[in-house]
Each structure stands twice: as structure tokens, then as C-alpha cells.
Amino acid sequence: MREERMQSFKLFALFIQVHLSFLITQASAGEETTKPPASEIAVYGGLSWLAKHQSEGGVWKGSRFIERCSPDKCNGQAETGDENLALTGIAILAFQGRGITYKRGPGAYKKCAKETIKFLNDRQKQAGRYPEGSERLLYTHAICTLAVCEAFGLSGKSKLIEPMARGAVSHLLASQNADGGWGLEGKSNVVWTAWASIALKAGMICEIEVPEKDIVKALDWLTFVTDAGTGKAGYTSKNDQIPLPKGSRKNNFGRLVAITPLTRYWAE
């Protein structure tokens, strides 16, 4: 359980980094300069690395991406491959954050997007569900929902992607807990709720039926776990944290503080 929670936070952090990099690039676009801004170079450098390390079949593999390295081997591979679907959702979000879809973009990047959409279509189960290792990890489904909803909107509401996006949104709505959040066995947590809220907002923007009251309930739950005086957010309540490895002296309150306002920014 501890590894699941830490991995879910890392994935959310990566999503934030990619999208903020794009926002910085956009903010710099109007500046007079004789060379691309550093943020633009960094974004395309990251996309280039992702494209080179995509495995056959449109998937990115946390523990086996080094098979694509040439000539030197990269480091940082995961100890388990159970997060491949979530990582693939994160990776395609990076391309889509730059406006790249299976319909448009530089050739190699467009090919990545096309293969990933096929992979996500093949992996989607009945009732729109995306499984991952332990099928209890709903944040994987939320990540994939966000990815296919963005792809649906960016592709001009492609008929290919529409059933994927609608099915994924439907399953996410059906999985919402009574308290308005999302989490394992009815116990909502900040990270899963953040991913789900942003994914549903993406669906709403694409004109997929999402009751506004369900997003409001999710944001109300985030308010419930946030201390009004300090701004600190807990993981499942005001006072708890994402569990850390035994012996660690750090805490996660600062990290959780960042998640809640960013979720409000995207979901409200």
C-alpha cells in the first residue's frame, strides 16, 4: 500500500512538471529572442527522450524502457512493471500538452500518439474501465481517462476516440465515493481525487456528460481535508500524510499543499 501511494504521488508530480513546462513555454512565446527559450528546448528534449523509449505496441515500460536505449543505457528504471498503463497515460499527456495528437505534429511524435491511442483502446475493458496490475488502483484509470479525454478534444472530437472517452468518464463517475472523493475501498484520498477531478473536468470541456455537482462534491472533499489556517492538506483527512519509507524524517504535507490548489485551478 505504501508503494502504491508513493507511486501515485510521483505520477501526479510528473504530470504537473510537464504541463507547467508547457505553460512557461507559452508565456515566453511572445518575447523577442534570437533563439528558442530554454523551456521550449527542454520540452522538446523531453518529448524526444520519450519517443525514443516508447516500446512496441504504444506502451512505455517503467522497468524495461532501457531496452530502447542506444548507445548508452539510461538509469532510473522501476522495480516493477505494474505501472505501465499509468506511465503510458502520463507520457501521452506530455505530447498532448504540446498539442501533438495522432492527427497532427512532427512525424515521429504523431506516430507515438497513434500507437498509444491504439494501445489505450485495446486495454480498455468493459464499462470503460482501465485495469492496472492490482485493479484496485483507480488513479490509473483516472490518468487514462484524462489522456483519452484530452485526445478526444484535441483531435476535433474523433469518432475513434469518442467511445473510449465516454466509457472512461462513465466508469470514473460510477466509482466516486459517497463523500465525493475517490480512493481504495471507499476511503477517499487526495491523489486519486485530484486525478479524477481533473479527468472529469477534461471530459466536461469536451462536452461529455459530467454532472457539475459531482465535480463540486470532489472539490468540497478537498476542502474537507485541507486545514483552513495553514493550507496543509492531509492524504485522507486533515492530519495524515502519504506514508513514507521507514526511518524517513521528511513529511509530505508540503507536497499535498501543492496538489489541492492545482486541482482547483484545473477542475473549477
pLDDT tens string 121-136: 999 988 899 986 554 5
- In terms of DSSP H, where are the helices of the chain? 2-28, 38-52, 84-96, 107-123, 138-154, 162-174, 190-205, 212-224, 253-267
The SS3 call for residue 233 is strand
Q: Write down the pLDDT at residue 7.
A: 46
Q: Write down the pLDDT at residue 67.
A: 72
Q: Write down the pLDDT at residue 139.
A: 85
Low-confidence stretches of the chain (pLDDT beneath 70):
1-36, 76-83, 132-136, 241-257
The 3-class SS string of 82-120 reads: CCHHHHHHHHHHHHHCCCCCCCCCCHHHHHHHHHHHHHH
pTM: 0.82
The C-alpha cell of 3 is what? 508503494
For 188-267, list the strands marked E by DSSP.
none
C-alpha closest to that of 139 among 92, 198, 220: 198
d(CA 27, CA 174): 38
Q: Where are the domains of the chain?
A: 2-21+37-267
